[in-house]
Chains A and B, each alone.
Chain A
C-alpha cells in the first residue's frame, strides 16, 4: 500500500488561470462552427487509439519506477503477470501467464501451471525460469523495487522451478491476500535483464514482454507507441496501435480532443471537463464521459495518543462537525465519491449498508457538552482541564484540503473548539506523523489489490514503527484485523470485515472522507470499453470504423 496526499496535487497553479480564462471565453459565440472546421481522423489512422497522458513517465518498468502511468501503459499490455483480475466488480482472479494454480497445505503452498507456447516479443520462449528471475530480482535488496518487495517479501518463504512450465511458491503463513499481490508483479524476461544492473538497464525505457502489445518507440516528453503483437498467445488485441501522447496542460488536451487528435482522455479535472462539455458541441458529439474510481480511500487522521481525543464522544463530535457532503459536491466537483467505511468502495467486502456520518453541529454540541463543557466561559471548551485547541496539518501542495480545512475550522469554532491550520511540506508532514508529533491531518491509502487490508494502518502493533500513525489501538479491532489476514474462507472473512468496519466507524478510528475518481472523455468510436482492476483493459477495446462514427 502506498500513502498519498488525498487530493489532486499534480495540477499546477497555472491551471487556475486557465479555468478563469475559459470562464471569460464562455461569453464568446458557442463553437458550433467547429463542426465544419474540426477534422475527422484520417481513415488510415482508424485503428490507432491515441491516449492522453499528462506527465512523461520516468521509465516503463513499474517494479523499478512505481509510476502510475508506467503501470497503466505497460501492465497487461506489454508485460504480463501470473494472474490478472477479471473485469467488473468483484474482480476475481484469472490466469494470465499461469493457466492453473493449486493451493495446498491450507494455503501455504501455491503451485502454478504456466502457460505453454508463450513467447517473448523477441521470439524466445517464456519459462518458469523467468518467473524465478523476476522474484529473485524483486527480493534482492540492491534492486530498487521497494514497494513491490514490501508486498511480497513478508509472505514468501521460498520458491522453486519444478519444470519448464511449473513453479511453486511456499509462503511463511497462509494469507488470503498473497494471490492478490501477483497481478501487480510483471514477469520480466531473464535473457534480457540477466547481464546487467536492473536499476539502470536500458530496457527500462524500451520494455519487452509477452503481452498483446509490443513496444515500438518512446519519444521522451512527446509520445509512447505500442503496436499489436502478432504472435500473441491469446486473443489478439483489436486496436492496432496505442499511442500515449504527453500533453501537460489539460486545457490543451481538451482542444486537441476537439480537433480529433486524441481519442481517450482518462484523467481530467472535473470542473474543466464540465465547462468544456457544456460549451463544445463537437466534444459532446464525439466523446462520452467515462469515470474511473481510483483504488484508495482518504481520511482524516487523528492522533489517538493525544489526551483530548481519547474520549470516543469527542471523536464522534469531531466527525459530526465535518461536512464531507459539501466538500465532495462543491470542492471536489466530480473528482471524488463520498465513503462511509475505511475499506475501499470497490472491495466486495466493503459494507454498503454502513451509513455515512451526517453533518450535525447540534448533535455534536450536545455530545461535547457532556465531556468538554466550557467551564470558564471564554468561548473555548476545556477538555481534561485544558482548553480544547489543536493543530491541523495540511500538505501545502494540496489546495483543496486547505480550502475545506478553513470551513471545518469555522464549524469547530462555532462549537467552541479552536483549530489552527498549519501548511507543511509533504516530507516534513511525513516526518511529523511518523513520530506521532501531530494532532490531526489527512492521509490517503492506495490499495494495490481490490481487497482492503487495514492491518498496517490500524493495528496497534504498527503504532511504534509502522504506518499506524494515529496510534489507534483497540483489542477487538486488533483481533479482527489479525484474523482477516489469516482467514481463507471468503464468507467468514466478509463477516469479520463487516464487524471490523462497524467497529472502526463506531470508534471513530479515523474520519472517512472520500475516494478519488478520475473523470475522463472517451471517443464514441471505442466499443466495449472494458475496465478492470486497477485500470481499463485497453487490449480488449475495439474501434468502430470511421464512417459509422460519422453517421452518428
Chain B
C-alpha cells in the first residue's frame, strides 16, 4: 500500500499543477479584462502625461498582449521593421533603438533597394553624433571600424574587464545601448569589484537604477532591483534570434512574464505602493495564520466532544438545547456577532472586558514577555471566537451525523453485545470510523487558513490577508491579487490532497492505488 501512495501522490501533484495553471489562466484573464487598469485608473491620473502613463504600463507589462503575442518584437525586430519604413518616418525611430542593433540596421539599409542609397551613411552619421566615443566616419574604413566596435563578442570581452581596468568603464559607456546586455550580465553575477563597476556603467547607460550600496543586505536588494529592471526591459536591448522570436509568440506575453516570475517564487511589485508583494504577504500572512490556526484548533477541539455528546444522548432535552444553540450560532452572521460583542464587552456603554482593536495594546512592547503574551491572547479572544463559532457548529453537526450513522452499524451492535461500556463503544469503535467528514472538511478549511476574513479583520483592525486582498481588489493591484489567489488555489489543492491521503490512513477500506482492488 505504501508504494501505491507514492505513485498516487505523484499523480495527484501532476493534476494539481495542471489545475493550478488552469486556475491562474482564468484568474489572470478575469483580473485583466475588468474595466479600467491601474495605469489609467486612479483619481490623480488625469494629470499624468501620456509618456509617464506609457512608462508605467510598460513596467507592469500592460503593453503586452495577455496570452498570445501575434507579433513579438525584440529591439532588432523593431529596428528591422523601421528599416522598411525609413523613407516615411525618417531615421529618428531607428536612432531610438540605440546602438544595439546598429550592425543589422546598417546591413538592412544597404540591402533594401527601394530606399535611397545615402540613408545608410546618414544613419551612421547620426549614430556617431549621438555617441561621440565611437570611431569617426571621416577616416577611411571608418564605417567598418564603427560597426566592428559594436560587435557583441568584443563588448563581452571589455565587460569581462570591468572592475579591473578603469578604461573598461568609459569604453562601455561610450558604446551606448549595445553594451547594456553584457554589462547587466556582469552586474547580475554580483561579484564584488566588477559588479559595482557594472552598476555604475549601467546607471549611466540607462539613466535609472542605483549603485550597489555597501552592506550585504543593501547589496542584495540593489541586485534584486537590477534583476527586476532587466526582466522588465530586456526586450529593449536584446536581439531575438529567429528561434527566440518563434517562442516569443508565447513568452512575450503578460501571462508568460508573470509565470516566469512566479516560477522563481517572485510575485513582483505591488502597484499601489511599489513594495515587493512577497514583503506585503510576509507581513499579513503570520497574523492571519495565527488567527485561523487558533480558531480551527478551537473548533475541532470543541466539535468532537459536542458531537459525541449529541450522538450519545440523541433526543434528550440537553442534547436538543445544545443543538438549538448550535443552529442559532450557525445562522448568526459573524460580523453581527462581532459588533454585538464589541458593543457589549468592548467598553462602549456596557462591560469593559476585552480590547476591541488590534493585536496588542498601545505601548505593549514595554511589557515583560509574559505580560505581552497575556495582552496578545486577551486581544485574540473576540476575533478568534467570531472566526471559530461558525465552523464549530458545522463541524459538530457533521460529526454527530456521521457518528449516528456509525452507531447504527452491525459491528457496533457486536461491540455492545460483547458487553463493552458505552464510552468504549463510542470512542474506540464508532468515532474512528466516523472521522471521514471531519477530514474532508479539514481539507476544505485550508484556503480559509490563509484567506482570512475581510469583515472580522476590518472590525477588529487586524491587518491580515483578508484586508490585504480586499484592498488589492479595490485598487486593482494585479500582482497582489494574483499572488493571493494563486496562493489560495495552491492551498486548496494541497488541502484536498492531504485530505485524500488522510482518508487512507483512517479508513483501511480506501485504497489509493487504482490498480488494485480493496483489501478484503
Contacts and interface: CB of A to CB of B under 8 A. Distances in A.
Contacts of A247: 357, 461
Interface string B145-187: 0000000000000000000000000000000000000000000
A256 B467 CA distance: 20
Contacts of A249: 458-459, 461
B288 to A, nearest CB: 12
Given A39-B347, A197-B225, A248-B461, A3 B43 contact: yes
Nearest to B349: A31
A326 interface: no
B227 interface: no
B505 interface: no
Contact of B35 (A141, A146, A221, A425): A425
A409 interface: no
A34 B461 contact: no
Interface in B18-52: 35-37, 40-49, 51-52
Nearest to B352: A37
A196 interface: yes
Contacts of B42: 426
Nearest to A396: B35
Contacts of A29: 349
A222 B463 contact: yes
A428 B351 CA distance: 50
Interface string A146-170: 1100100000000000000000000
B283 interface: yes
B42 to A, nearest CB: 8
Interface in A486-502: none
A425 B352 contact: no
Nearest to A57: B273
A255 interface: yes
Nearest to B280: A220
Contact of A259 (B51, B280, B348): B348
B461 A259 contact: no
A430 B39 CA distance: 13
Interface in A9-61: 14, 17-18, 21, 25, 28-29, 31, 33-34, 37-39, 45, 50, 56, 58-59
B463 A221 contact: yes
A294 B208 CA distance: 37
Interface string B209-220: 111010000000
B225 A200 contact: yes
B103 interface: no
Contacts of B350: 31, 33, 37
A65 B275 CA distance: 12
A270 B51 CA distance: 40
Contact of A34 (B336, B342, B348, B459): B348
B85 to A, nearest CB: 27
A249 B459 CA distance: 6
B135 interface: no
A252 B461 contact: yes
A38 B459 contact: no
A202 B335 CA distance: 37
Given A196-B210, A246-B461, A37 B43 contact: no
Nearest to A443: B46
B349 A261 contact: no
B208 to A, nearest CB: 5
Q: Chain A: interface secondary structure?
A: mixed
A206 interface: no
A5 interface: yes
B363 interface: yes
A427 B41 contact: yes
A545 interface: no
Nearest to B284: A221
Contacts of B49: 146, 150
Interface in A232-285: 243, 245-249, 251-252, 255-256, 258-259, 261, 280
Chain B, interface size category, equals 35 or more
A88 interface: no
A467 interface: yes
A2 B47 contact: yes
B46 A252 contact: no
Contact of B40 (A33, A150, A430): A430
A2 B44 contact: yes
Contacts of B362: 45, 50, 223, 243, 245, 261
A138 to B, nearest CB: 13
A4 interface: yes
A544 interface: no
B348 A31 contact: yes
B358 interface: yes
Contact of B357 (A37, A200, A261): A261
A310 interface: no
Given A247-B357, A252-B459, A196 B46 contact: no
Contact of B210 (A146, A197, A256): A197
A66 interface: yes
Nearest to A431: B40
Q: Which interface residue of B284, B335, B350, B358 has the most chain A CB atoms within 10 A?
A: B358
A390 B348 CA distance: 51
B222 interface: yes
A59 B357 contact: no
A108 to B, nearest CB: 26
Contacts of B280: 220
Nearest to A283: B348
Contacts of B347: 34, 37-39, 258-259
Given A252-B357, A256-B356, A428-B36, A142 B208 contact: yes
Contacts of B284: 221
Contacts of A204: 274
Nearest to B468: A221
Given A2-B46, A196-B210, A256 B458 contact: no
Nearest to B464: A221
Contacts of A38: 347, 352
A195 interface: yes
A199 interface: yes
Contact of B36 (A4, A66, A246, A426): A426
Contact of B207 (A142, A146, A196): A142
B40 A58 contact: no
Contacts of A434: 46
A147 B44 contact: yes
B234 interface: no
Contacts of A65: 273
A428 B4 CA distance: 56
A256 B273 contact: no
A204 B52 CA distance: 20
A59 B358 contact: no
B272 interface: yes
B349 A34 contact: yes
Interface string B356-379: 111000110000000000000000
Contacts of A21: 336, 339
B470 to A, nearest CB: 9
Nearest to A254: B348
Contacts of A248: 458, 461, 467
A196 B212 CA distance: 8
B44 A220 contact: no
A244 to B, nearest CB: 12
A226 to B, nearest CB: 14
A259 B463 contact: no
A8 B389 CA distance: 35
Interface string B259-276: 000000000000011110
B250 interface: no
A150 B53 CA distance: 14
The 4 closest A-B pairs by CB, nearest first: A221-B463, A31-B349, A58-B273, A427-B36
17 contacts: A2-B43, A2-B46, A50-B362, A150-B47, A195-B210, A197-B208, A222-B461, A248-B467, A252-B356, A252-B460, A255-B342, A258-B347, A259-B346, A259-B347, A261-B362, A430-B40, A430-B46
Given A200-B225, A246-B463, 4 more contacts: A25-B343, A37-B352, A147-B48, A150-B47
